[in-house]
Structure 1
């Protein structure tokens, strides 16, 4: 790599389970052999044909590897061995998924359904952000920010394109975003604490900074490039060269993940007001209006809980949440009201640790994908009406997912 410095009825569930079992039997019989295994000529032909297909594809991490799944049929196209625990993020180029491993950021070619040898070395590969035609990688061990032109990633053929690397100041678990005009907004912290954000222009001169954001984590880009960052006591909003602090309604009100749409000034964020809570299920959300500069805490209906892995923004702009009750809930980002709920998977228990397998959600176009870790399934639903499109069993317990259209 070159671098430039700088709940349904019981009968319904039974029918659904029977259908899933039938689909699973068909799909698993056609799974590609793991990379490096001896294949028959027929298997090679099937795999090549599947790899050449069009339409969305889903990457699913499991303990020891990554599955590549056809987004329409939910057929497992490839089973790619990797490490015990990896994380997945779309690269933003409609072709690659970034797999974070102990070696760094490895590119998974979803068209070819193979883990490439292209790796951006990192001692602690962390956040991957896509915005303004750039894909930004962050190394927690150094706080270095690596910036790629996203379009160039799509054209890779055995070699990584040139990247700009902005050296970190003090290492911490952080994230960076690059705006249209080259402004870099990055978190600030050190080995003992994370404290805020700092914005610099394309030449590296400071534009703005704010240190009133303990535990700063996550980011989201809303309409007109307004950025939000979560804190343990609220949110920081970077907008047109200025940083605004929005305070949580509770003394401890941790906000760690943002579910934003670049077409809307409204951002849905997760919320936890109990620093001693066990497990990772949450029952409140926060709504941030980046134009009005407001923050509102909303309690979800009784029985609806979620984790950070279970929320996305849908094609209509609503937030889509897979609740621990097994229903896909549609949430109005302006009010926090649940406007519809669709039966998706069985009810599930929250994880004791965030890395443990539990349901995840992703969107491609008008389709919502939800994994069921307990039952080794994936289901595709229509984003508008919630109708089930397809359902299939998986050969491994799914953890994180990422979709490429």
Structure 2
């Protein structure tokens, strides 16, 4: 098996962006917190509690039974109520932001998002690339929700229409979309349409390619560069290609038990590998790249639920109906240890009968135990129970948010070299050399950078200046320097000013949003320019030229993000226009963008840390 390690934090719930330079902060406190969300089997409610202090508890009322999903790096929980045609969202109250050598954690009470989605039978949820996609099986469409909006207690969504209502899914792949496709119902009456495959579509649902055959397509997951889905024939993989999604069928190996298929898949976070079900008593490890693509794991009893460990991609865990929990060695393709953790739960009966569900919470596995009215805490290494949490009713579906990070005393830690003077807005730095950080470096240290350094979904900070959110930043800068709050605010009013409230960067496509309306262009690297400021320090602009796209999209874009060599941006200043040379003379207006996943409070903390 190819053991590809991707650039993802071992904490699956850590933020996707690498933060700014962080110096040692003796006042910072290391905190590990996991928050557990449990849906009741019978009542319309979600119970949330802190795992290490379960007396910290919250209850959220819903219309019906909940299937719970942790999304947007654990910042939010999606509650899908399929039988009651409703989808609710809960902000988990826990957000993490990586700074390379450590993560910061911000903790608040969880809170329900005011708005809910309603529609005929919501079911599958996909969380990928800043999009949360819910398929409405009886509506013939998927609702696409912008993940970053949830942190602002808002839901910004749009619908992708499907050709026919069916039990399926819609997923973003690269710059495009794919959707499952169904034929006519095989018999008259209420029989469900037959799912026949996957098709590339535009965001409005219009087809842009042929159907990739995948009979009975069901179950989907992302891992690395791949989307995978289970089929009668095998596992269908999808990757982003130059001309749209590229599909490949991995046909089930002859040595696998005949007559079985995969209908549920989990994707590893830090290895490019999938774990799927295969029949009632089997699991299959799927390598989408190297042969053998399939490794079968036979279970001693029928499977109840299974999960992958985001903190240690080598291992997964599966609960079987005899009440035993088994550790799965994904690399070796076998069960490595087992232990009895609950009373038996037979798999006979209805698929939605109350049975345990498991989720990962750092060094523990949390398991709902409906008959006992408990959530059990099980140490993942020893598979031993370390505690229980009573939950009223019949605890059933379960989701977890959280991780480990530093909490800074008052968030008043400071980094040298960032005063209100814009000369230090465009200085460069690296994580290893304070001189480079201060804008003093040799030409030999400068390296070309790809557009992927700036990939992601970004929000302008100008609205936060206008509504007063950034006032603590100006006060903090005034305390550290010689200028007044009023003078600092006035300078940043000019610096941050822009009518482009959001930018997304995917592949070579940059999309600018003005009043919610997109304009986009494809951009190629056009070199770099080193600028010298009055104080003698320097900064580097990395420049990209438009090769295709909307006429309104600028001919040139120039990034300044305080770095001089390839490294993921945590925020950036962007200059754009049609005159490459003239842009280099612009030093007073520097529209600034932070990840859209950050809350206003997180942005304030980040700015104070500069």
**Alignment TM-score > 0.5, same fold:** yes
What RMSD, in angstroms, separates the aligned Cα atoms of the two structures? Answer: 2.6
Alignment of 1:194-209 (within 5 A): 194-200=195-201, 206-207=208-209, 209=211
How far the C-alpha of 1:113 sits from its partner, in A, is: 4.4
What 5-or-longer segments of structure 2 have no aligned partner? 1-30, 94-108, 184-191, 403-610
Q: Which among 264, 277, 302 is matched to residue 270 of structure 1?
A: 277
How far the C-alpha of 1:88 sits from its partner, in A, is: 1.5
Counterpart position of 1:243? 247
How far the C-alpha of 1:76 sits from its partner, in A, is: 6.7
Counterpart position of 1:97? 77
1:214 to 2:215 alignment: yes
TM-score using structure 2 length:
0.51
Q: 1:268-312: CA deviations, max 9, x gaps?
A: 10012xxxxxxxxx211122111126443524243x4313x3333
Contact 1:74-1:391 within 8 A present in 2 as well: no
Counterpart position of 2:284? 286
Contact 1:137-1:146 within 8 A present in 2 as well: yes
SS at the partner of 2:302?
Answer: coil
C-alpha change, 1:196 and 1:384, in structure 2 (3 Å) is same
> What CA distance in whole angstroms lies between the structure 2 residues aligned with 1:250 and 1:326?
24
Counterpart position of 1:322? 319
1:163 to 2:141 alignment: no
How far the C-alpha of 1:360 sits from its partner, in A, is: 0.4
Alignment of 1:341-380 (within 5 A): 341-380=338-377
Q: Which among 38, 59, 62 is matched to residue 60 of structure 1?
A: 38
Counterpart position of 2:234? 234
What 5-or-longer segments of structure 1 have no aligned partner? 1-52, 273-281
1:183 to 2:183 alignment: no
Counterpart position of 2:392? 395
> What CA distance in whole angstroms lies between the structure 2 residues aligned with 1:283 and 1:316?
24
Contact 2:91-2:151 within 8 A present in 1 as well: no
How far the C-alpha of 1:194 sits from its partner, in A, is: 0.7
Counterpart position of 1:107? 89
TM-score using structure 1 length:
0.75
Contact 1:196-1:216 within 8 A present in 2 as well: yes
Contact 2:297-2:335 within 8 A present in 1 as well: no
Most deviating of 202-211 and 287-296: 202-211
1:142 to 2:139 alignment: yes
Counterpart position of 1:47? none
SS at the partner of 1:232?
Answer: coil
Contact 1:145-1:167 within 8 A present in 2 as well: yes
Q: 1:177-218: CA deviations, max 9, x gaps?
A: 113x3321221114421111112366866256312x222111
C-alpha change, 1:351 and 1:114, in structure 2 (3 Å) is farther
How far the C-alpha of 1:220 sits from its partner, in A, is: 0.8
> What CA distance in whole angstroms lies between the structure 2 residues aligned with 1:74 and 1:343?
24
Aligned residues: 336
Q: Which among 150, 153, 157 is matched to residue 153 of structure 1?
A: 150
> What CA distance in whole angstroms lies between the structure 1 residues aligned with 2:272 and 2:166?
29
